[in-house]
Chain A
Amino acid sequence: MLETVRFIVFALLLIAGLMIQLTAVLGACRFRFSLNRIHAAGMGDTLGLLLLCLSAIVYEGFSWISLKIVLIVAFFWLTSPVCSHLIGRLVRETDEHFKSEAKEWKP
């Protein structure tokens, strides 16, 4: 019984993580401007990775391996937003048509 529940939770988390990664990839390919693409790609690196790693932890149970997976999540949550921030800053400083693009996407 408990094994079944664990498997279901594992499968749900895995599918949710894969869906998020798929959305991230689609967004990174489909959006036209760099900042929108960063927005999509950053989601995959944080939420998608968290869900995938959670599924791996559920599958593995409590062990040293799951502790290392937690460390992977912590590392990515530290670094991925910083990367997005730096890319965004670089786009703002180097893109020639930044103003027109930013205007187009104003609400």
Chain B
Amino acid sequence: MKTKKNDPFQHLKDWIENGDSALEVEMQDELDDTESQPLPKEPAGPQKKLFVLDKKNVLKRLNIWYAVAAFAVCLALIGVLVYAAAQLPKFGGADTLVDSEVTAFYVENTMEETGAVNIVTGIILDYRGFDTLGESHVLFIAVCTVLLLLSIHGEKDEEQKLKADAYDRHFEPHHDEVLQCCARLLTPLVLIFGLYIIANGHLSPGGGFSGGAILGAGLILYQNAFGYKKTERFFTFRTFKLVSLCALLFYSLAKGYHFFTGANHIPNGISAGHVGNILSAGLLLPLNFVVGCVVACTMYALYTMFRRGEF
């Protein structure tokens, strides 16, 4: 960071560097007067130019049509879903799903065919592997949307970035002794617990989604206690991109290979192994890890995006 004499952002930089202590002094003086606190003004973004279009009426009419169309689509969707729900078998009935062959097949054959003691994992990652692939992509798409809307990464305007940082520092208790002590104790335990749940996904309740959520919670706890400077050492935007890309790519390729060879009865070299061991159940363990990585990255990315707009 440069320090010129006539730097227009000097007050923001000062604030960022010793925000907490500056805030303390202000709190003593002017607790009741919030307006004189140096809250930076609302950033006058380029979005405001949208409303200065010449053809105002066209835009208005488009907006009306857009609202009508959205309403109609929503109504149609609700109708379809309600109709589908009405066609479902009765919940809790005595003969509901008794004649479903799939359920009995799963219960009888999952352990044998996939090597998973936890039948749920066997179903969602093996029989319905593409469904889980779609779910992982849904998470990834959600993060992409949030990135599009909120990210200030690559923003040329230095003031915008500094303001975001200042906003972030304003109310957030940084360098809180108590929280840091607690986080130092808990973060490793939380991360290990998350890894344990992921690694035992095919043996006991759990798996990629729940373990990944715990990993993300551990990351968020660490970030809260120690700030962005510490997390930037191991988790940046680049890391997020790399991990998400590799995870989703590996999942797609592995699952595609597995399904292709399985459907054509080609030997694929993936065996269930000794049921009950950690290193068993063929693809389930790596797939669980991959899903866990995606979920953890998603949790952390959503948190940082909504908090500051940057990793």
Write the residues of chain A forming the contact surface with B, with a CB cutoff of 8 angstroms. 75, 78-79, 82, 85-86, 89-90, 92-94, 96-100
Contacts and interface: CB of A to CB of B under 8 A. Distances in A.
26 contacts: A75-B186, A78-B182, A78-B185, A78-B186, A79-B182, A79-B186, A85-B176, A85-B178, A86-B173, A86-B176, A86-B178, A86-B179, A89-B173, A89-B176, A90-B171, A90-B173, A92-B27, A93-B23, A93-B171, A93-B173, A96-B31, A96-B34, A97-B32, A98-B31, A99-B32, A100-B32
B178 A99 contact: no
Nearest to B180: A82
Main secondary structure of the interface of B (DSSP, over half): helix
B186 A94 contact: no
A75 B187 CA distance: 12
B286 to A, nearest CB: 28
Contacts of B32: 96-97, 99-100
A98 B28 CA distance: 11
Nearest to A94: B171
A99 B185 CA distance: 35
Contacts, number: 34
A73 B182 CA distance: 15
Contacts of B182: 78-79, 82
B190 to A, nearest CB: 9
B191 to A, nearest CB: 14
Please give me the 7 A-B residue pairs with the lowest Cβ-Cβ distance, nearest first: A82-B182, A99-B31, A89-B173, A85-B178, A96-B34, A94-B171, A82-B178
Interface of B: 23, 27, 31-32, 34, 171, 173, 176, 178-179, 182, 185-186
Nearest to A75: B186
Contacts of B178: 82, 85-86
Given A79-B186, A96-B32, A97-B32, 14 more contacts: A78-B185, A78-B186, A79-B182, A82-B179, A86-B176, A89-B173, A89-B176, A90-B171, A90-B173, A92-B27, A93-B27, A93-B173, A96-B31, A99-B32
Nearest to B189: A75
A92 B186 CA distance: 26
A66 B27 CA distance: 47
A98 B27 CA distance: 10
Contacts of B34: 96
A78 B183 CA distance: 10
Contacts of A99: 31-32
Nearest to B221: A79
Contacts of B23: 93
Contacts of A82: 178-179, 182
A82 B171 CA distance: 17
Contacts of B31: 96, 98-99
Contacts of A85: 176, 178-179
Contacts of A89: 173, 176
A79 B27 CA distance: 27
B168 to A, nearest CB: 14
Contacts of B176: 85-86, 89
Contacts of B186: 75, 78-79
A68 to B, nearest CB: 12
Contacts of A94: 171
Nearest to B182: A82
B91 to A, nearest CB: 31
Contacts of B179: 82, 85-86
Nearest to B177: A85
